[in-house]
Chain A
Amino acid sequence: MALRTEELILNMGPQHPSTHGVLRLIVTLDGENIVDAQPDIGYLHSSVEKMMEARTYLQNIALVDRGMDYLTAMSNEEVWVLAVERLAKIEVPERAKSIRTIMLELQRISSHLIWWGTFGIDLGAFTAFLWAMRERERIMDLFEASTGGRLHHVYFRIGGVNEDLPEGWTDRVAEFCDYFLARLPEYDDLITGNPIFQARTKGVGVLPLSTAIAMGASGPVARASGLSYDVRKAHPYEVYDRVSFDIPVRTAGDCFARYEVRMEEMRQSVRIIRQCLEHLPAGEIRSKVQVALKVPKGEVYARTESPRGDLGIYLVGDGSDKPYRVKIRAPAFSNLYALTEMMKGWKVADVIAILGSIDIVLSDVDR
């Protein structure tokens, strides 16, 4: 016998401890079941694309750090310099490529650590947050020593990187890799194997593969649904074609699969860093590029794999020293759209678990 019930509309955010920034979710509930969940975004729209049109190619490096996904500043720098280098046909020295790869992977670890910590808080485990931040501080120290910044580095340059690595830095990174690998089993003990955690994530928020592709999901979210696609493998940039690493793929498509994919990615990142450290070539770190670089007319789409997925920039140059138009393809924007599909049919208590598992950064969604 079906009982007629009334629907309830629940508003979450923009100020909510678990929405990872200023996201507003409008959830329609039938009893405890979610009928519909509509994200309301734009609370952090910072007009980056407009501002980039008014800044030179070099100045924009500082802007993409802040305006795009702020957890992974160097991935943004990477996709920006990659687009400019392709259009202006600038070569990057080998050493710079290796350094960039190390930085990108360190950044990936630090970003995944934040996700791991906050996901822990979302599900009621505060210790996870403290542990993640502890490890992240070490990465911050490494960044500070080499780039000078903790969060916003402005380290990559068109045609290379800003400065060479300080003395002893590579040893410190190697030391960190050992330290970090030893921590990962502890994480598994604390969270992964935890029955409460498993009960709240296994089988929850399933995103089927076909839906994931149709909705434009990418990165760990798509890989957890069974899409074996990683830009680092499919269209290698920097030195990704010369290092060996695996792409973790799961087929379950639930929160736990997304969790597993990211945990495994951290291990793979350590693997990549170690290989880069081993084969770090000597030599130049930057090729000669004018400060007021004039980029030829043309259009190019550059893409990279940021910790959140397929991050791309469509750059339109008009021959002057400023870009004519920049379109940022933000992975979290599409991943968040897929959330509407993931939420349907789950209980209201699962909202936070599902939202935490797709790892959004509002600055990436809104730009």
Chain B
Amino acid sequence: MSTDPKAIPRSTVMPLDRALEVIDALPGGGAVLTKVEDVLNWGRAASVWPLTFGLACCAIEMMQFMATRFDADRVGIIPRGTPRQADCIIVAGRATIKIAPIVRRLWEQMPEPKYVVSMGSCATCGGPFYYDNYSILKGIDQVIPVDVYVPGCPPRPEALYEGFLKLQEKIRKEPFLRRRIAAAAQAGS
């Protein structure tokens, strides 16, 4: 991570990132930044809006997860129908080779920061469709990066809950701002 603010050309750096950069360089600034980051992450973790991408059987359990009894709303998980509004994509079910480019495109259409939850054995590794098969992708991580794998065939809604709690844990620990500075620095250099 670059610590010399002058090394970053002005024209390419957003003002916010520049301010952060300066704060980080001040004595004790790092700690302040970390605190700010904690607050931001707390907010982000509490409102993960997934893009529902129901592919196969697992999608039914995902629906159940969002409906009565399991009620994902209460931990801030609200399903979205379009990738532009989503933070996270749940790949629920087996992906075929025919749909793999579309999964990739949807993932690319989501704004950063974005996360991927791979739900079910099929999305994780091909699962029951691994052998003697000619059309199923053997693991969605061949085309997009995955953050949380939820095993099961299908995973129970509780298991998906667990997966999301893990994702929230991950978001809370993330050096979100520092990563943005690094990205800005890289874009500038």
A interface residues with partner B (beta carbon < 8 Å): 14-17, 21-22, 42-47, 50-51, 53-55, 62-63, 66-67, 70-71, 114, 117, 129-131, 133-134, 136-137, 140, 150-152, 362-363
Q: Would you list 7 pairs from A and B whose C-beta atoms are within 8 A, ordered by A residue?
A: A17-B52, A21-B55, A54-B132, A66-B56, A114-B63, A117-B67, A133-B64
Query: Is A151 touching B67 in the complex (CB atoms < 8 A)?
Result: no
Q: In angstroms, how far is the closest chain B Cβ from the Cβ of A275?
A: 29
Residues 130-155 of B contacting A (Cβ, < 8 Å): 131-136, 153-154
Check: B98 CB closer than 8 A to any chain A CB.
yes
Which A residues are in CB contact (< 8 Å) with B128? 62-63, 66
Taking a contact as CB atoms closer than 8 A, the residue among A45, A55, A140, A152 that contacts B135 in the complex is: A45
Q: Judge whether B53 and A15 touch: CB under 8 Å.
A: yes
Residues in chain B near residue A117, CB distance under 8 A: 67
- CB of B87 within 8 Å of the partner chain: no
> A50-B132, A51-B131 known; A134 and B99 CB under 8 Å?
no
Instruction: Give 5 closest A-B pairs by Cβ, nearest first.
Output: A133-B67, A70-B57, A17-B81, A54-B132, A134-B68
Contacts of A70 in B (CB 8 A): 56-57, 60
Q: How far is the CB of A208 from chain B (nearest CB, A)?
A: 33
Once the chains bind, are A47 and B153 in contact (CB under 8 Å)?
A: no
Q: How far is the CB of B62 from chain A (nearest CB, A)?
A: 11
Contact A15 B102 (CB under 8 A): yes
CA gap between A66 and B156 in the complex, in Å: 15
Q: What are the residues of chain B within 8 A of A42 when measuring CB–CB?
A: 96, 98
B106 touching A152 by the CB < 8 A rule?
A: no
User: Which among B54, B56, B59 has the greatest number of chain A C-beta atoms within 10 A?
Assistant: B56
* Chain A residues with CB under 8 A of B99: 14, 22, 43-44
Q: A15-B53, A137-B69 are in contact. Are A46 and B61 (CB under 8 A)?
A: no
Task: Chain B residues near A21: list those with CB within 8 A.
Answer: 54-56, 59
CB-CB < 8 A to B132: which residues of A? 47, 50-51, 53-55
Query: In the bound complex, how far is the Cα of B110 from the Cα of A316, in angstroms?
Result: 47
Known: A44-B99, A54-B131; 8 extra A-B contacts, CB below 8 A, are A15-B53, A15-B83, A42-B96, A43-B99, A46-B129, A51-B131, A67-B129, A133-B67
A46-B129, A51-B129, A133-B64 known; A152 vs B96 contact (CB < 8 Å): no
Query: Which residues between 23 and 47 of chain B lie within 8 Å of chain A, taking CB atoms?
Result: none
CA–CA, A133 and B72, complex, Å: 13
Residues from chain B with Cβ under 8 Å of A44 in the complex: 55-56, 94, 96, 99
**Those of B94-135 within 8 Å (CB) of chain A:** 94, 96, 98-99, 102, 106, 128-129, 131-135
Q: Contacts A14-B99, A14-B102; is A47 near B68 (CB within 8 Å)?
A: no
Q: Are B57 and A150 in contact (CB under 8 A)?
A: no
Interface residues on B, range: 20 to 34
Contact A66 B57 (CB under 8 A): yes
B49-92 residues with Cβ-Cβ distance < 8 A to A are 52-57, 59-61, 63-64, 67-69, 81, 83
Name A362's closest neighbour in chain B (CB-CB): B56
Can you name the residue of chain A whose Cβ is closest to the Cβ of B54? A21
Report chain A residues within 8 Å CB of B129: 46-47, 51, 66-67
Residues of chain B at the chain A interface (Cβ within 8 Å): 52-57, 59-61, 63-64, 67-69, 81, 83, 94, 96, 98-99, 102, 106, 128-129, 131-136, 153-154, 156
Evaluate whether A114 and B60 lie within 8 angstroms (CB atoms) in the complex, with A14-B102, A46-B136 already known.
yes
Chain A residues closer than 8 Å to B133, beta-carbon distance: 46-47, 50-51
**Cα of A71 to Cα of B133 in the assembled complex, Å:** 22
CB proximity of B18 to chain A, nearest CB, Å: 38
Contact of A152 with B98 in the complex, beta carbons under 8 Å: no
A16 CA to B102 CA in the complex, in Å? 12
A134 surroundings in chain B (CB, below 8 A) = 67-69
Contact of A136 among B55, B64, B83, B96 (CB under 8 A): B64
Q: Which A residue's beta carbon lies closest to that of B51?
A: A15
- CB neighbours (8 Å) of A131 from chain B are 68
- Expressed in whole angstroms, the Cα–Cα distance for A245 and B106 within the complex equals 47
Contacts of B68 in A (CB 8 A): 130-131, 133-134, 137
| Cβ distance A22 to chain B, nearest Cβ, rounded Å | 6
A151-B136 in contact given A15-B53, A45-B98, A133-B69 (Cβ < 8 Å): no
- For the complex, what is the distance from the CA of A161 to the CA of B134, rounded to whole Å? 31
- Complexed CA–CA distance, A256 and B13 (Å): 58
Partner of A47, one of B106, B136, B156: B136
Shortest Cβ distance from A116 into chain B, in angstroms? 13
Residue pair A71, B60 in contact (C-beta under 8 Å): yes
- B54: which A residues are within 8 A, CB to CB? 21
Contact partner, B96, options A15, A16, A46, A130, Cβ 8 Å: A46
How far is it, in angstroms, between the C-alpha of A152 and the C-alpha of B81 when the chains are bound?
27
Distance (whole angstroms) from the CB of A247 to the closest CB of chain B: 27
CA distance A152 to B56 in the complex (A): 12
Q: How far is the CA of A62 from the CA of B59 in the complex (A)?
A: 18
Question: Is B52 a contact of A151 with CB atoms below 8 Å?
Answer: no
Closest CB in chain A relative to B106 CB, distance in Å? 6
Q: Give the shortest distance, in Å, between B83 (CB) and chain A (any CB).
A: 8
